[in-house]
Every structure is written in structure tokens, then in C-alpha cells.
Structure 1
Amino acid sequence: MKFVIATHNQGKIVEFRRMLEPMGIEVVMAELSEPEETGKTFGENAYIKAESACRETGLPAVADDSGLCVDYLDGAPGIYSARFAEPGKRRLTVLEKLHGVPEEQRGAHFVSAVCCVFPNGDRIDAEGKCFGAIAQESRGENGFGYDSIFVQDGRTFGEMSDQEKDARSHRGKAFEEFERKLKEYLEGLEKENV
């Protein structure tokens, strides 16, 4: 099975490949346009990206839209996580906005909505969330995006190994649900073709 990944984010490409290949999916890279993310939810934006990539390549396409939701910031940056500040300043912007905010008010969660669109128009949607808090400063070299400021059990995602992060992250949970739904979908197709 060949799937195209609908993202230009190198960090996501690495994670997608790590999660999809054990499912028996061959990850195909393609030059894709970047559709405008006009959705009001993570799920809507994931669908926009997956549908566009599927249309361009003729292959099943998998996309995710994910982000950090900070309680103290009323859920921001949320669906605007990738556009919250200029590249390279996003983590710093969150830390600055939480400067002086006590530990008990630094709660946050990550959301990942995964969408797979097939050339026949079928789709699979899955979502994962993980809860934690915002660190006082950036820690750790692993991961990407907001990983080095998101704390669970005393460590940031940036301080965890890939395997540890996948086991507890929003994207790991979303892909776990996606794998289950994909299996059900493929079994349904097999029954139709018997």
C-alpha cells in the first residue's frame, strides 16, 4: 500500500514515516502545493490538506493538523499553532506570554487530527490528545515545534526518546486510532470484493 504524506514539515514527515511503516504502508513523497487552511477545526484543516494531496497525486493521502492549546491563553495558539509567531519564535512567544504565571495555571494539551482521503472519495478521520503543562523554559533537543516546552511527568517532549514520545503523544494516539480504523476499512473492502 502506498500513501502520500500531505505535509511540508520535515519533523512530521519523520514521525509519519515512523508510525505508518509498521502498518505496512509505503510512504511516498511528492511535490505538493500548500492549500490554504481555512478550516475552523483541526479536523477540517487535516481534511483540506489530505484531499488536496490525494487529488494531486491520485494516491491515498494522509495529513494531520495539530497544535498546542494553552489553558491560560484560552486555548491559543490552537489551530494557529504553525502561524502563532514568525518561524523560530513560536516557543519563545508562548513562554513570554506565560512569564510569571504560576505552575498550577500552566496547563496545556496537544491535539492531532489525522485524515486519510482515498482516490474513491472515502476518508478516515482520527484524533488524539495528550495533556501536560508548559515548562518555564525550553528543554531538550528532540522533536520539533513546541515539544521542548511541553512537560509531562517532569520532562518535556524534547527530552524524551522518539519511542517514549510516540507512546504518549497526541499524534501517537491519533495514529493508534487511525490504524484501527484503517484495518476495519480494508477488511470491509475485502468483504465487498469476495
Structure 2
Amino acid sequence: MLRYVTTNAGKVREARDYLDSEVSQLDFDYTEIQAPDLEPIAARGAREAYRHAGEPALVDDAGLFVDALDGFPGPYSAYAEETLGMERVGHLARDAADPARAEFRCVLAYCDGDAFDASPDPVDRADRAAAAATDDREEQDDALPVKLFSGVVRGRIVEPRGDGGFGYDPVFEHDGTTFAEMSAAEKNAVSHRGRALEQFAEWYATR
């Protein structure tokens, strides 16, 4: 049984579209560390979730990265939406550049307590710190291995359009359509999470 850590049942349904194995939702409030990148946040969460559930665990972390704002809000996207609001973040992006180019990124972190090779590109890069990072509960030699998969979708920030989706979907336009104007199936076909899930599913089928 693969446990997907989320409070969003829609993410679980999306994962089931990509995976042949059984996936169930796990509502678990893992520690979200402060970091400039998504990878160590997701890796820490996957380790905690595996320890909590005692079963293979999948955690995702995602964010909106605006080019002209040096990647802001990035890993702090949820906090920025809660405090500033989606529309104000959109105004900041459009004031900084026209067009306000941006990308959604998603990192999936998987942990089942067993060893495997370090994560594949593009997450792995030259170092493997995100895949082998320790937390304050463990020493380097005893760190639980975590496998990472990333998905990216490029677009631009526009005035809000559409009634669907959630978060920054109304202000993120991809190929002329905002995520909020897309159906769930259309969004899943191009989304950052869908691209990460596709990579994960291909690897997980051989696990």
C-alpha cells in the first residue's frame, strides 16, 4: 500500500490515474522545514511520513517560482497566498516584468525504508544532498533514503481568469489558458504534479 500524504483527495485520484498499485490518502502533518528549495522539504516529510505510517510514503511539495522575483514565492507559496493573497502576488509579478514569466514546480519524495540509487535528473544534479539529507533525528550514516522526482511547467502570470482549480491557478497561464480555465483532465495532462507523477510511476513500476 502506497500512502500519499495530502489533505487533498484530488491529488490521490490523480496519482491513481498514473499508478497501477493501490494508493491511499494519509492525513499527516509532517514538519515543513524552512529551505530555499523544495527538495529537502519534501524529503524530510517523506521520512517522517514513513516512520509514522510504517508503509511506503509519498510526499509532494510544490510552489510558484516567478523569474523576475528571483523565484519568489517558491517554497513559501502557500504562506504568501495566505498572507498576501493570490491577486497581490500576481500584481507583484506583473509589476516586476512584462511578461511576468514563471513556472510551477513540484517535487515528489518517496520513502519506504529500503535503499536505492540516488534520485534521477533533473533533481539529482551534481550533488545528492536533497536525496540523502539528514534531519536532526538521525546521523548521516543512518539517514533513510529518499527518492525524488520533479515536474515543471512554464507559463506567465496574468490577471485572474477562470473559476476552477485552486491556489494560483487563476493567475498562471500556460499556452494561452490559465490553470483555472482548464478542466481537471486538461490541467493534469500538463501540470507540474502530473509530470512528476509520470516519472515516479515509471520508476515505481520496477520497485
Interval containing the TM-score (normalised by the shorter chain):
0.7 to 0.9
Q: How many aligned residue pairs are there?
A: 178
* In 2: Cα distance, 1:33 partner to 1:155 partner: 33
SS in 2 for 1:127: strand
Structure 1 counterpart of 2:93, one-letter code: L
| 1:21/1:27 contact within 8 Å kept | no
* In 2: Cα distance, 1:96 partner to 1:129 partner: 22
Alignment of 1:67-78 (within 5 A): 67-78=63-74
Normalization by structure 2: what TM-score? 0.77
Percentage of identical aligned residues:
33
**Unaligned ranges ≥5, structure 2:** 115-143
Alignment of 1:43-54 (within 5 A): 43-54=39-50
Structure 2 counterpart of 1:163, one-letter code: A
Report whether the alignment pairs 1:162 with 2:184. yes
| 1:124/1:181 contact within 8 Å kept | no
Could you tell me which residue of structure 2 aligns to residue 140 of structure 1?
Answer: 162
Q: CA distance change for structure 1 residues 30 and 129 in 2, over 3 Å: closer, same or farther? A: closer
Report whether the alignment pairs 1:116 with 2:110. yes
Could you tell me which residue of structure 1 aligns to residue 2 of structure 2?
Answer: 3
Aligned-pair CA distance for 1:101: 5.3
When the two chains are superposed, the root-mean-square deviation of aligned CA atoms in Å is: 2.0
Normalization by structure 1: what TM-score? 0.82
**Unaligned ranges ≥5, structure 1:** 187-194
* In 1: Cα distance, 2:13 partner to 2:108 partner: 14
Alignment of 1:36-115 (within 5 A): 36-86=32-82, 89-98=84-93, 100=95, 103-104=98-99, 106-115=100-109
Structure 1 counterpart of 2:161, one-letter code: R
User: Which structure features the higher share of helix residues?
Assistant: 1
* In 1: Cα distance, 2:11 partner to 2:28 partner: 18
SS in 2 for 1:84: helix
* Segment of structure 1 superposing worse, 56-65 or 20-29: 20-29
Could you tell me which residue of structure 1 aligns to residue 12 of structure 2?
Answer: 16
Aligned-pair CA distance for 1:157: 0.5
